[in-house]
């Protein structure tokens, strides 16, 4: 892999997780945050997972996002081998629509924390926003971009509220 320094690592347990993580890529690119994406499985490539986590800090990573479905042990395995913040994204897949992955990701034993966001596509986007919030603690420019993002969301909802209330309201007369 490249020796370039990235702020965020996005690890996916399977290539099939890629479409659900597109929102994370978009957010990080928009915020100007460098990231590297890899496919690493807690079960199928456990040595690679452990080695990645053990060397992530010295490679310059500051936050690790882990997307995995079904048993969803990736975030926990990574967290067990690093002190960097780890954000778990449960992937919604069959047969339990992500409930299994959510429970596996959120139920970490004491001493090995994993932050967990919602399952699926929304979780991908939220994981990137959470990573940005962590990085913004020591980067005022990034903190400002995060505020801009939040303000844009607020404006979008206010505009939708105005549009919907005009079109879909009735005095009952």
**In this predicted model, what pLDDT tens digit does every residue of 131-169 receive, in sequence order?**
999 999 999 999 999 999 999 999 999 999 999 999 999
How far apart CA 120 and CA 48 sit, in angstroms, is 24
As its CATH architecture, domain 8-138 has 3-Layer(aba) Sandwich (3.40)
User: What are phi and psi for residue 172, nearest 5 degrees?
Assistant: 85, 0
Going by C-alpha positions, the residue among 71, 65, 152, 150 that lies closest to residue 115 is: 65
What SS3 state is found at 11? strand
pLDDT at 92 over 80: yes
Q: Residues 18, 91: contact at Cβ < 8 Å?
A: no
């Amino acid at each position: 892999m490249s020796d370039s320094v990235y702020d965020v690592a996005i690890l996916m347990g399977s290539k099939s997780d890629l479409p659900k993580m597109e929102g994370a890529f978009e957010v990080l690119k928009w915020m100007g945050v460098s990231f590297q994406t890899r496919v690493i499985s807690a079960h199928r490539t456990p040595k690679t997972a452990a080695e990645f986590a053990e060397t992530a800090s010295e490679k310059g990573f500051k936050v690790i996002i882990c997307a995995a479905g079904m048993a969803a042990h990736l975030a926990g395995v990574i967290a067990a081998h690093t002190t960097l913040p780890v954000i778990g994204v449960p992937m919604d897949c069959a047969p339990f629509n992500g409930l299994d992955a959510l429970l596996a990701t959120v139920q970490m034993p004491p001493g090995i924390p994993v932050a967990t966001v919602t399952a699926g596509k929304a979780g991908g986007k939220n994981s990137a926003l959470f990573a940005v919030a962590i990085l913004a603690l020591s980067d005022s420019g990034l903190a400002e971009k995060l505020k801009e993002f939040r303000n844009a969301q607020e404006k979008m909802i206010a505009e939708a509220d105005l549009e919907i209330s005009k079109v879909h309201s009735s005095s009952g007369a």
